[in-house]
Structure 1
Amino acid sequence: MIDKVKKRDGRLISFNEEKITRAIFLAASEVARNEGVVPDYQVASELTQEVIKHINRKYAGTVPSVEDIQDSVVKVLIETGHAKTSQTYILYRAERSRIRDSKSRLMKTIEDITFLDAKDSDIKRENANINGNTAMGTMLQYGSAVSKEFCKNFIIKNNHSLAHESGEIHIHDMDFLNMGTLTCCQIDLENIFKDGFSTGHGFLREPQDIMSYAALAAIAIQSNQNDQHGGQSIPTFDYGLADGVRKTFKKLYAENLYKSLSIISDQEQKREDAIKVLKSVIEDSDSGKISRNEAEAEKECSMISDIYSISKEQVKKIQDFVYEETVYETDKKTYQAMEAFIHNLNTMHSRAGAQVPFSSVNFGTDTSEEGRMVSKNLMLSQERGLGNGETPIFPILIFKVKEGINLNKEDKNYDLFKLAMRVSSKRLFPNFSFLDAPFNKKYYVEGKPETEAVYMGCRTRVMGNVCGEEQVYGRGNLSFTTLNLPRLGIKYGICTGEREEADMQGFFKELKEKLDLISEQLLERFEIQASKKVKNFPFLMGQGVWKHSDELGWDDELREVIKGGTLTLGFIGLAECLIALTGSHHGENEDSRRLGFEIIKYIRSEIDKKSEEYNLNFSLIATPAEGLSGRFTRIDRKNFGIIEKITDKDYYTNSFHVPVYHSLSAFEKIQIEAPYHELTNAGHISYIELDGNPSANLEAFETIIKAMKNSGMGYGSINHPLDRDPVCGFSGVIGDTCPNCGREEKDIPFERIRRITGYLVGTLDRFNDAKKSEVNDRIKHM
């Protein structure tokens, strides 16, 4: 007789037949409930005795395992005519195994987070914006790990969870799924500044000068990040802060003019009369604008001349002095405000103190003097760096390039474009977005900055809208999920040697199945988000940051207003997919290039069909892969072994990019990747990798940026080495010794700043292993 059972962890426990009876009865109860009959516990007991007989026969003289006993239960149920009960028992058994595996996986993750140093743990470097060694960073990772397992086992559908676990798809930010947060938002600063706003801990009045505008902009970004799991973007930063410059100029102009007039006469009455007159002129005119209104200036001159009984020539000299001094002081204050803005966003913490805000600002098209002053000083502050000359990580600066505004020498903001390239050559940012790309230009309406297509640092783009206004303010991505393209290529391609030609019919058939699966999963997540209420997101929704949320009550659901956001499908590893299918990627072969475009075009067409079917903004993104690039590769290597140029690296190539190890010119890369920008309507970016210091050749820098623009790209950037000596503070290209102080890299290493995605730059020690490997493989473009 069997009296002991071996558990999965090796422990021996007493055999308990009641556990078998109860398991059979629960499975039978499920079947009975579906068929409308009453289950019989006695039948379960009798079946248990048959199971015991089978166990005693088969395992006599040994100690059976838990799995052995479960196999015996299934065998007896089938042989005794209880097939449906057997099926239910098998499902129950699988579910228990899944939960048990989840607990085991969770405990291992918690153990790694607790005891491993970040340099030894990919988990603690999954997000380069989190310091995994700090107390708050560790706590945030604990919460993330627990939430992910809970969502996989109790929130999302089984087939979605299994597809994620097996590496067929990747559900991004799953740790926030059950909370119903949205991914990101494009914030309309002018709207929230208009009457002030509340952070939940106090109300902030409408700002009255540029310093306050910049401070509140940083606070708004920080507050919004606590309501979302992704990034925060300001689509029209220069327009949004221009009013702050105007208010500052108007205030300083009045003060300086009063001080100057006080020198002319010490008669109190005359000063009071002048103040009354000037107040009416300044407040009721364009005097608050830096660009002078000659008619207003003449009116002001006549009044001062009459009050003080002095010639107009003298008054004009005073006016000119006051104007020039006020412009200087306003410019200085604007620089200080922009410097404070950048410093705040690199030191201000959110999400339990573990992260600085993921933030992006778009600018460069406001041609007013106030807007130009904002853009100029924002870039000058970026160029100067932080307190010790460090490169600011946030906000991601994105310069909007537009013909007739800043692209050519005759354009008013061309000087800002030149400055943007100079700063980018030193600090990696700004990136460059192109408003004249056909898919961006079709939305553009002159004089309406909200129609200027913008990007978030990570590459996200939210513009088209089947549910309402096609503009950028108060909208963002709801969620996104990524497809493992190399997996499909391996299954249907020639790389395994199983076939001489790729099975493209099978490839596209399963591709459609996976697209349907992801669409279903995005809708499942949308339902969770739609059921949330305004009170769940007190800043994002409660302060009207999200479009039309100000029309809802505190307890209203969000369904109708969040329809303006995007449900996004992404993809990774087009290059490896093509190698698996044909033996070559799209940078090597024209046939592969045509096939690559055909694949992504097909995906986009299926996504468009989903938008039409559900009347929601389904869209396609070229996935920004940070931790994901290595995750898919590890799983596929385990399943398919090491396949040359596919699973033999630690990463899959980002989205539609030509592999970083492939040698080609900058202009070849631009021409190959540009067509994919139009297909990926939810976001895209292309990089050009340069060696050396591009500051020494800004003409070449400009040529590359204009080549991107002329090719039809929507968003691009130039990568280059950015090193810093923490001892002397030198920033630039450093080899083995610092060119400034001659110090060698020994006890104190040089900081090697590199970009890993559109929105994250940093030192290599903060990157996960896959991204480190990718950076090391990069070949510079000629």
Structure 2
Amino acid sequence: VVYSRGSKEIKESILNKLDNNFSKLHREGRIHIHDLEAYGLTYNCLTPNILQGFPFEEFSNYSDFKKLIEIFNYCKHIVVGLGNEQSGGIAFANFDEQVEKIYKKLIIAQNEINLKFLTELIDSFLKWINDARDRCGQVQYYVSLNLGLATGDLARYITSSVLKSFMDSKYIRPNIIFKIKDGINRSTIDRNFDLLQLAMKCTCKKMIPTYFLGDSNHNLKIDPFEIALMGCRSRVYQNEHGKDTTIGKVNVVYNSINLPRIALEINREHSNLSKAKKIALYNEKWMEIADSVKDLLFDRYYKICKLEADDFPCNSEHNLMIIDINKVKSLEDVFKNGTLSIGFIGLSETIELLTGEKFYANEENHQIAINLIKMMRETIDEYRREFNMNFSLLGTSGEFISGRFPSEDQKYFSHPLIDKGFYTNSFHVDVDSSLNPFEKLKFEGPFHKFCNGGCISYVEFQSAPLNNFEAIMELIEHAIKMDINYLGFNFPMDVCLDCDNVGTFDICDQCGGNNIQRIRRVSGYLEDAAFFTPGKKAEVSHRKPNVII
């Protein structure tokens, strides 16, 4: 309560100090300034380079057991430190490879006793991520482990241990992203295909891992070891100032635009316009708002750049960023390598408001939707060229704004699309579309290449597809053909807190109890549905599975 009240007062104070144009856009629900309480105080999220500052010499004389313990103590220390000096998530880019490199450099023997202890420590690390509430004194850490590519015996053992520990536990965190790449794990002849099979088995039971698809057309030229994703979908890769990589780079700031609001205003003020003229006007109005959002991102970015290395003690101590923050004259030399993202939600509602039909109702509307997102990306690419900064387009997950935006719009408009209580995630088809999985991925696929700041597509199952690896593999292959960047699978997961039975039920079919915890995925992370925001509760209540008829 204290944190919530304090955060609310800080947000209001910041809005009062901002340029009135920026504050008005946020207050009226035309845009959302994410992590407002951290405005000018810190960046959003980081994929730390944990090898760069690892204290190898300090640990070199320890026993093997002590060395192993300190590897994971170090990882915890990094998570705690970053979790309290930034506003967003923490991703390990290649957890399997990174732990393997540390293990070998510390010259730890690869014997049965040490490997068994390594497995136990991995499980303890996962348990700690689920249990820790050190962030702001009450909040869990948003941690993502990217893995699946490293082919060394030890790295493969690490990947297997992570997946088995997660699969056989009650854990719902961390997020695990399994990277798929032909020649490494995609084909039956690939060295790590067995790990992909294990990952799919885990997904069938727990919804995690999700999958980065390195063989999708727009990802083909990317070194998969150099890219990592946040579980929420954020993607930080392209760099106007140096190497294209995710490792050591931050998403500095991001804001999201309320797409349906623009369409609602056009319909009210220009109801007699033809469809083509409405769309042209929509493009103009979006560009006007995007221009203000760009200026707002710059305002926040330059405030952060005026901070000192001492304001980021974990980064300062452990050299986690792409450039050592202790060795630069200005933090801008570091943060300019990060991204400034412009996000969006509600494409589905927007197209329906402008045309009268869903964007997946016919090919014409689908092309209208594609052109709209293409226009957004082209505008943002123009910002990149003009300002030599890493602007990106983000398909926002919208955990909070999915409900906030329609709530604000309801003050000015009346429409059934508002009344349902939520706007659809990024460019996704409606959650109650009932499209089969192949159709859903076909309609969403063309948007992925434009969202270089991150995006994901989900397939919704009616229940856990236990042991149905063939269906998961078939959908992964189809998603690659559809040029999907990042893919996840959702299904209801109910847990009986009396007997630990897992399934889909209101009354436990094993003990008859009704003490049920409902786990659902929102915004990339598995959560207890009891703590969802109103918008996400409304969305979950509308969800229908993507089934093949």
TM-score by length of 2: 0.95
Shift of 1:497: 5.3
What is residue 149 of structure 1 aligned with on the other side?
Answer: 12
The correspondence of residues 121-520 of structure 1 with structure 2, limited to 5 A, is: 138-154=1-17, 156-179=18-41, 181-195=42-56, 209-246=67-104, 251-252=108-109, 326=111, 328-385=112-169, 390=170, 392-444=171-223, 449=225, 451=226, 453-493=227-267, 498-499=272-273, 501=275, 503-520=278-295
- Deviation digits for residues 275-303 of structure 1 (CA, Å, limit 9, x no counterpart): xxxxxxxxxxxxxxx6xxxxxxxxxxxxx
The code of the aligned residue for 2:177 comes to I
Give the Cα separation in 1 of the matches to 2:274 and 2:81: 57
SS in 2 for 1:432: strand
Shift of 1:224: 1.0
Does structure 1 retain, via aligned residues, the 8 Å contact 2:90–2:143? yes
Q: Which runs of 5+ in 1 are unaligned?
A: 1-137, 199-203, 253-289, 291-325
Report which stretch shifted further, 495-504 or 575-584: 495-504
Shift of 1:251: 4.7
Shift of 1:514: 0.8
Q: Structure 2 vs 1, CA of residues 221 and 206 (structure 1 numbering), >3 Å: closer, same or farther?
A: farther
Out of 482, 504, 523, the position equivalent to 1:734 is 504
Q: Normalized per residue, which structure has more helix? A: 1
Give the Cα separation in 1 of the matches to 2:20 and 2:344: 22
SS in 1 for 2:340: strand
Give the 4+ runs in structure 1 shifted more than 6 A: 204-208
Percent identity between matched residues is 30
- Deviation digits for residues 183-217 of structure 1 (CA, Å, limit 9, x no counterpart): 0000122223244799xxxxx99996333322321
The code of the aligned residue for 2:261 comes to R
Q: Structure 2 vs 1, CA of residues 247 and 380 (structure 1 numbering), >3 Å: closer, same or farther?
A: farther
Give the Cα separation in 2 of the matches to 1:187 and 1:251: 24
SS in 2 for 1:144: helix
What is residue 616 of structure 1 aligned with on the other side?
Answer: 389
The code of the aligned residue for 1:515 comes to A
Report which stretch shifted further, 204-213 or 350-359: 204-213
Out of 559, 571, 574, the position equivalent to 2:344 is 571
The correspondence of residues 692-711 of structure 1 with structure 2, limited to 5 A, is: 692-711=463-482
The code of the aligned residue for 1:176 comes to A
Q: Structure 2 vs 1, CA of residues 712 and 418 (structure 1 numbering), >3 Å: closer, same or farther?
A: same
- Deviation digits for residues 300-350 of structure 1 (CA, Å, limit 9, x no counterpart): xxxxxxxxxxxxxxxxxxxxxxxxxx2x33332221011011011112233
Q: Structure 2 vs 1, CA of residues 336 and 634 (structure 1 numbering), >3 Å: closer, same or farther?
A: same
- Deviation digits for residues 23-60 of structure 1 (CA, Å, limit 9, x no counterpart): xxxxxxxxxxxxxxxxxxxxxxxxxxxxxxxxxxxxxx
Give the Cα separation in 1 of the matches to 2:4 and 2:57: 34
Report which stretch shifted further, 501-510 or 569-578: 501-510
- Deviation digits for residues 601-631 of structure 1 (CA, Å, limit 9, x no counterpart): 0010000010111111010000011111111
- Deviation digits for residues 213-252 of structure 1 (CA, Å, limit 9, x no counterpart): 223212211111111000111111011101354478x655
Shift of 1:591: 1.4
SS in 1 for 2:484: coil
The correspondence of residues 511-660 of structure 1 with structure 2, limited to 5 A, is: 511-552=286-327, 556-641=329-414, 643-644=415-416, 646-660=417-431
Shift of 1:139: 2.3
Out of 527, 539, 542, the position equivalent to 1:774 is 539
Shift of 1:739: 3.1
Shift of 1:677: 0.8
What is residue 517 of structure 2 aligned with on the other side?
Answer: 751
SS in 1 for 2:212: strand
SS in 2 for 1:541: helix
Does structure 2 retain, via aligned residues, the 8 Å contact 1:477–1:566? yes
Give the Cα separation in 1 of the matches to 2:210 and 2:138: 26
Does structure 2 retain, via aligned residues, the 8 Å contact 1:246–1:370? no
SS in 2 for 1:569: strand
Give the Cα separation in 2 of the matches to 1:693 and 1:493: 42
Does structure 1 retain, via aligned residues, the 8 Å contact 2:344–2:395? yes
SS in 2 for 1:393: coil
SS in 2 for 1:233: strand
Give the Cα separation in 1 of the matches to 2:127 and 2:348: 39
Shift of 1:761: 1.6
Does structure 2 retain, via aligned residues, the 8 Å contact 1:210–1:241? no
SS in 2 for 1:638: coil
The correspondence of residues 685-724 of structure 1 with structure 2, limited to 5 A, is: 685-724=456-495
Does structure 1 retain, via aligned residues, the 8 Å contact 2:325–2:331? no
Q: Structure 2 vs 1, CA of residues 496 and 354 (structure 1 numbering), >3 Å: closer, same or farther?
A: farther
SS in 2 for 1:503: helix
Does structure 2 retain, via aligned residues, the 8 Å contact 1:151–1:178? no
The code of the aligned residue for 1:468 comes to G
Give the Cα separation in 1 of the matches to 2:58 and 2:504: 46
Shift of 1:710: 2.5
Does structure 1 retain, via aligned residues, the 8 Å contact 2:357–2:365? yes
Does structure 2 retain, via aligned residues, the 8 Å contact 1:211–1:336? no
Q: Structure 2 vs 1, CA of residues 615 and 208 (structure 1 numbering), >3 Å: closer, same or farther?
A: farther
Point out which structure has higher relative CO (alpha carbons under 8 A, 6+ apart): 2
Give the Cα separation in 1 of the matches to 2:115 and 2:63: 24
Does structure 1 retain, via aligned residues, the 8 Å contact 2:435–2:546? yes
Q: Structure 2 vs 1, CA of residues 171 and 421 (structure 1 numbering), >3 Å: closer, same or farther?
A: same
Q: Which runs of 5+ in 2 are unaligned?
A: none
Shift of 1:698: 1.9
Matched, 1:764 2:529: yes
Does structure 2 retain, via aligned residues, the 8 Å contact 1:245–1:334? no
The code of the aligned residue for 1:408 comes to S
Q: Structure 2 vs 1, CA of residues 163 and 658 (structure 1 numbering), >3 Å: closer, same or farther?
A: same
Give the Cα separation in 1 of the matches to 2:316 and 2:270: 51
Q: Structure 2 vs 1, CA of residues 580 and 171 (structure 1 numbering), >3 Å: closer, same or farther?
A: same
The code of the aligned residue for 1:711 comes to M
SS in 1 for 2:343: strand
Does structure 2 retain, via aligned residues, the 8 Å contact 1:196–1:207? no
Give the Cα separation in 2 of the matches to 1:414 and 1:330: 25
- Count of equivalent residues: 544
Give the Cα separation in 2 of the matches to 1:471 and 1:492: 40
Give the Cα separation in 1 of the matches to 2:74 and 2:65: 8
- Deviation digits for residues 689-713 of structure 1 (CA, Å, limit 9, x no counterpart): 0012201422112211222223211
Does structure 1 retain, via aligned residues, the 8 Å contact 2:315–2:325? no
Give the Cα separation in 2 of the matches to 1:657 and 1:456: 19
Does structure 2 retain, via aligned residues, the 8 Å contact 1:339–1:381? yes
